[in-house]
A and B are shown apart, each in its own frame.
Chain A
Amino acid sequence: MTLTKAELVQQVYKTHTTLSKTQATESVEAFLRISKNTLINGADLLLSGFGKFNVKDKNSRRGRNPQTGDELTLDARRVITFKPSGILRDKINNS
């Protein structure tokens, strides 16, 4: 089974009975939009009990095309890393 956005919306709608379906959808969309914009703007996202998303700048480096073996320069880039919280790790392992 895979959890998708549609199921998140369904769960929010079911749990919060005062919300309309549109509001539930909007809430999930806004949650994701805020999270994404935070990271796009280069700030870390810390969700206590879940984990943290860090934005890291990587320097350019020399690498190889694994198929041809040719040397090439990999450009400097910015990436996102995720570190699960201790609570999340425990829940995953104790179920």
Chain B
Amino acid sequence: MNKSELIETLAQEVDLPHREAAAITNTILETMIEALAKGDNIEIRGFGSFVIKQYRSYEGRNPKSGKKIEVAPKKLPFFKVGKELREQVNLHGKK
């Protein structure tokens, strides 16, 4: 499912115009992005959590040329799936 399909489904489920559902979806995603950009974590019960991991700079290699390169320090978001969702996803996989 992509974003526009999600918006379409949301519009039907909450009985709001498509344009309103699109705006709400953007608010939700932007709020999450802003939180992560500030360095905050996200914790949504039943769904999962996002934490920012900080990486120090390290020496890497260009996998194509084999040349050494300095990889700058960076932050990356990590998603940890919530227990309830993890169990439900796994349950359906066995069917």
Contact surface of A with B, Cβ cutoff 8 Å: 1-5, 7-8, 11-12, 15-16, 18-19, 23, 26-28, 30-36, 38-51, 53, 55, 57, 76-82, 84, 88-89, 91-93, 95
Contacts and interface: CB of A to CB of B under 8 A. Distances in A.
Contacts of B6: 31, 34-35, 38, 45, 47
A5 B33 contact: no
Query: Could you tell me the dominant secondary structure of chain A's interface residues?
Result: mixed
Contact of A92 (B10, B42, B52): B52
B: interface residue count bin: 35 or more
Given A16-B20, A50-B33, A3 B42 contact: yes
Given A2-B40, A27-B16, A35-B6, A80 B86 contact: yes
